[in-house]
Amino acid sequence: MSRIEQALQKAKKSRISGAEQKADINNIEQESATSIDLNIYSAETNNSSDQLLEVEPITVNNRMLITALDERTNAVEEYNKLRSTVISLTRGEAFLNSLIITSCAPSEGKSITALNLAISLAKEQDHTVLLVDADLRRPSLHRYLGISPEYGLAHCLRDGLPIEKALVKTGLGKLVLLPAGDIIKDPLDMLSSKRMEDIVLELKQRYPERYVLIDTPPAVPFADASVLSKMVDSTLFVVREGVATKSVITKTLEDFRRKGILGVVYNDSKAASKKHGYYYYY
């Protein structure tokens, strides 16, 4: 008979005290690898949205993170419009709360868009936001925020580190960051693993009102975004004017369409820049 079965029988027959039950459960979790997967997010269970708001905010010095600077500009308003659009498209009979944010090519602004959207959503009263840096090839979210986290997603996937050990409460509204951690030269096996599937499922289901945004590598040179798109509800594409060709964009969107595309963010539009004096246009 397994140790788990013995513990369950002991609890049923003896109706042991709460303290004894807790001791047995702790022993079981130490010996059961399954318990790690089932409880990867347990440390946040007792953390309310109010507690998230009590965290001292990260000091943001990067001017690209305009939604964190509490300034009323046209660019901030555009991100707020994007936030409203995302909420509108994801709230229906089912809450489509998980999405990846990617682009066709490098240097299209996907990570900056992911951060500004996440901050805008996190400052909105009804939602907490978990932003995941799944660009293990070239992680950047922590650098934009000006932090140096010790652990991240790579440690959770490679070393079995519990997710709660890698989370960073930013204090920017109700935003929590799961940084990438170590740079991985070829992370595709990690990102397509059962462990990653379990993590994404847990993050999606743990809090019914939480958005889970996942920043990924560009979709054309790497398969990471395609793999992760199968684990989430939809994909948000960032297209920067003058970077990817129309044929590449069309083909990439067609490839992702059957997996669910939420929409396309048209970034760095020169026409919008000349008219309004800012670079973000949706």
* Start-to-end CA span in the chain (Å): 60
Q: Report the amino acid identity of residue 67.
A: T
In 3-state terms, what secondary structure has residue 94?
Answer: coil
- Give the side-chain half-sphere CA count within 13 A for 238: 30
CA distance 34 to 49: 29
pTM of the model: 0.79
Which pLDDT tens digits describe the chain residue by residue (282 residues)?
444 444 434 444 443 444 444 334 344 333 333 333 333 333 344 444 555 556 788 899 999 999 998 788 888 999 999 999 999 999 888 899 999 999 999 999 999 999 999 999 999 877 899 999 999 999 999 999 999 999 999 999 999 999 999 999 999 999 999 999 999 999 999 999 999 999 999 998 887 789 999 999 999 999 999 999 999 999 999 999 999 999 999 999 999 998 899 999 998 877 554 444 333 333
In 3-state terms, what secondary structure has residue 159?
Answer: coil
DSSP assignment string, 220-262: TT-SHHHHHHTTSSEEEEEEETTTS-HHHHHHHHHHHHTT-EE
Residue pair 129/174 in contact by the 8 Å Cβ criterion: yes
